Amino acid sequence: QNSMVLSAAIFITLIGLIIYLHFVKVDQESLLVIGSLGIQVTSSYASGKESTTFIEMGQVKDVVINEAIHMQKVIYYLCILLQDPGDPQGVSEVVPLFQSSKPRLDCLIEVYKSCQEILEQRKT
């Protein structure tokens, strides 16, 4: 009886660990910006699985560094602002980037500057 309960607990723990590694634990995040095409955001999980999102450049209004207060700390994160199709001056959605890795502000500033250079080239 006890060994059966212990075996079941170990089995459930292993299944939980596999699910955590496959769907939750992000190992690496990357951002690829191509001025003529769009922005590709890729998350690589600890299990080897990859999740990729592509945003067309026509939808991108701007890239900004946003700040939030969380647990008595100020957290900075990079966001893509998507244009509202009905209102050219409006923003329809804010897409946060690097949610799992949470890079420092100095790293975010470097990425921000690179993104702004590409966005400026697209406008001219």
Predicted pLDDT at 96: 92
Structure confidence by residue, pLDDT tens digits, 55-91: 999 899 999 999 989 888 999 999 999 998 888 788 8
Cβ count within 10 A of residue 9: 10
Counting as low any pLDDT under 70, the low residues of the chain are none
Q: Provide the pLDDT for residue 18.
A: 82
Range of the domain at 74: 1-123
Q: How many domains does the chain have?
A: 1
